A and B are shown apart, each in its own frame.
Chain A
Amino acid sequence: MDAILRIKQVNKYFYDPEKFLVLKSIDLTVNKGEFLSLVGKSGCGKSTLMYVLSTMDTDYEGQLEIAGERLTGKTQNELSAFRNAHIGFVFQFHYLLPEFTVLQNVMIPALKLNKYSRKEIEERAYQKLKMLGIETQANKQSSKLSGGQQQRVAIARALINDPDIIMGDEPTGNLDSYNTNLVFDIFKELTHTYKQTIIAVTHDDEFARKSDHRVEMSDGKIISA
């Protein structure tokens, strides 16, 4: 299988309150179409690792490569553009823009990418919502939806630019078991049917066990992969 993401010898320090090594010589390769879950105890560095992978955190030592492109050392603006085209995000909270409708929320990253016409983007956004079973909510204010629906909108938004990777930081952390299963099934379907790569940080053991690839961290090191 093709590697979509690769990191080599990543070290990261926290400086506050004192210098502290959070990630210790991490090597990781993620293959295309893989559903990877990142687990570990609180403070083990799993979220920190994910933010390094996400390109939002640039303060690290080592090498990061996504979709064959070396990202270490690029400027913030280059990384913003890269994230826009190649990475989708799903967080514990949905982070939808409350003043916009569901459809507009999904469309914004695509409008930013500016690869398709507005009409096509609207069409694609509608398709993604349909795929996630929430197309009937498309024209509602995003703040009017339930928690599970909002998280599905956030997934649709993460998918709109056909990213190489979807990254999730506790994507089910704020959901009840019904919605957790729903989101999990969506992720599973995305990876198996659409060959979508997903990296999710979670502390839900069941979620992690059911994923394709469980990576466990402890004290800034990967202890089982």
Chain B
Amino acid sequence: MNGQSLKLCIEIARVHLFSKPKQTIIAMLGVTFGIGMFIALVSLMTGLNNFTEEITMTSSPDIHIYNDVTESRKSILEEENANGINLVYHQKPKNETPKVRNARELVRLIAQDEQVTGASPSVSSQVFYNYGPVQLNGTILGVDIMDEDKLFDIRSRMKVGEIEDLLSNHNGILMGKGLAKKLNAIKGDRVVITTPQGNTITLKIVGLFQMGIGAVDNVRSYANIATVQTILQKDQSYITDVNIKLNDRSRAKKYAVDLKSKFNINAEDWETANATFLTGVIIRNIITYAVSFTLLIVAGFGIYNILNMTIYNKMKDIAILKAMGFSGSDVKNIFMIQSLVIGLVGSVAGLMIGYGLSFLISKAPFDGGDIISLDHFPVNFDPRYYVIGVVFGVATTAIAGYMPSRKAAKIDPIEILRGQ
């Protein structure tokens, strides 16, 4: 096959495509629709996935170390009589504090690892927020705000005040915006906090933050570690949680296992903590690809039909081309070129329509309510999906075009030329 031959095949294919413009356009529209819907769906779905992933990650560290006091433990009976048959019903947890043992040393060791971007110790407690007659259930988190900022980028989420205000103000707190709204409190107000043990302390709001999820913004406040330790009446070594951020989030699962065996602690990675959320992502992806794939298969059948019909109508042309010296592969090329052009032009038009739809969706107002702070749909404009779209569209048309083209290549010219 020389270049001139291919050029001639392209020319014949071009004339075929242009001589029946309606048919060509209909075949292209099938692909355009398929790819357009694929892009629109995938942009919205991955946009939603990324958005939920991002806001989930703001409240969930890569690895969370804590002391699970409710974890089932070996009974004394089993320890004493290891080889016997032991039955212990309804064993209750031991009375122990949710304190992570030797946390400061643990944080120091973990932070030295080069896989780790940051490790932040914290003390958390359930509390009641009292503001006048209003009493609200919530949590208070004692943190080293600079370490915490490394993990969750709190600085960018501050709506009022600065995170440094917490450092300079021993009895200050940074309050979730939703919580502050419920308490009708603003920066500078004082709130009275009651712990489950009945201790009461008055703290001053030095800033307001908004993470974007109601589950955090409506209940949480940040304070200094020492402050929380004081209201809980615990010593300085009392740390309930250590949050860790890794360079590479995908390694969290393995790293958590390493930590567990190395330090004999309870470490939970983000995938385990957010299993339901990840299942949602997988299901959304399956739906997106299933719908797009179906659309493309339908488009593929359309192309297959149209090419089959064209070849049936052009039997005589094919026979004479073969008599004049066109080889089987030349004839195949003529029809493959047609289906590839339909696929390529249809796909590119599909990308444009897909982009247009995505753009419209991204501008559509959408109220996320109290749960998430969202005023329009999150849409992902990742060019990767546009590349996938074109590859997908061209591949489908190539497969759909190959079968009729091969049939055309195998036509025996004698049967047609002498049959009439």
Given known pairs A80-B325, A81-B325, A108-B324, the reply for A56 and B414 (CB within 8 Å) is yes
- B322 A80 Cβ-Cβ under 8 A: yes
| B325/A92 in contact, CB under 8 A | no
Q: A112 contacts which chain B residues (CB < 8 A)?
A: 4-5, 8, 324-326, 330
The verdict on B126 contacting chain A, using a C-beta distance below 8 Å, is no
Q: Return the CB mask of B326-343 against A: 1 if under 8 Å, else 0.
A: 111110000000000000
| Given A97-B317, A111-B8, A112-B8, also A85-B417 (CB < 8 A) | no
Judge if A40 is at the interface, Cβ distance under 8 Å.
no
The answer on a CB contact under 8 Å between A111 and B4 is yes
| Chain A proximity mask over B292-333: 1 for CB below 8 Å, otherwise 0 | 000000000000000000000000110111111111111000
A146 at the interface (CB under 8 A from B): no
Whether A92 pairs with B327 at a CB distance below 8 angstroms is no
User: How many residues of chain A have a CB within 8 Å of chain B?
Assistant: 30
- Do B323 and A114 touch (CB < 8 A)? no
In the bound assembly, the distance between CA atoms of A80 and B16 in angstroms comes to: 22
Closest partner residue, chain A, to B320 (CB atom): A95
Q: Is A99 an interface residue (CB 8 A)?
A: yes
Which residue from chain A places its CB closest to the CB of B328 in the assembled complex? Answer: A76
CB atoms of A51 and B325 under 8 A apart? no
Find the B residue at minimum CB distance from A50.
Answer: B418
Interface flag for A149 (CB, 8 Å): no
B5 touching A114, Cβ below 8 Å: yes
Do B323 and A83 touch across chains, with their CB atoms under 8 A apart?
yes
**Does A164 count as interface, using CB distance less than 8 angstroms?**
no
Contact A83 B417, beta carbon cutoff 8 Å: no
Q: Is A34 an interface residue (CB 8 A)?
A: no
Q: Is the CB of A109 within 8 A of B325?
A: yes
* Alpha-carbon gap, A107 to B5, bound state (A): 13
- A residues in contact with B4, CB < 8 Å: 111-112, 114
Chain A residues within an 8 Å CB radius of B324: 83-84, 89, 108-109, 112, 157
- Interfacial chain B residues near A80, Cβ < 8 Å: 322, 325-328, 330
- Measured between C-beta atoms, what is the minimum distance from A49 to chain B in Å? 12
**Cα(A112)–Cα(B8), bound, Å:** 7
**In the complex, are the beta carbons of A95 and B322 less than 8 A apart?**
no
Instruction: Tell me the minimal C-beta distance from B213 to chain A in angstroms.
Output: 63
- Given A54-B323, A89-B323, is A108 in contact with B8 using a C-beta cutoff of 8 Å? yes
Please encode chain B, from 358 to 374, with 1 for each CB lying within 8 Å of some chain A CB and 0 for all others.
00000000000000000
Given contacts A56-B413, A80-B327, A112-B330, 6 further A-B contacts (CB under 8 A): A51-B414, A56-B323, A77-B329, A84-B325, A84-B326, A169-B418
The 10 A-B pairs with the shortest beta carbon distances in the complex, nearest first, are A84-B325, A95-B320, A99-B19, A114-B4, A80-B327, A83-B325, A109-B324, A77-B327, A99-B15, A111-B8
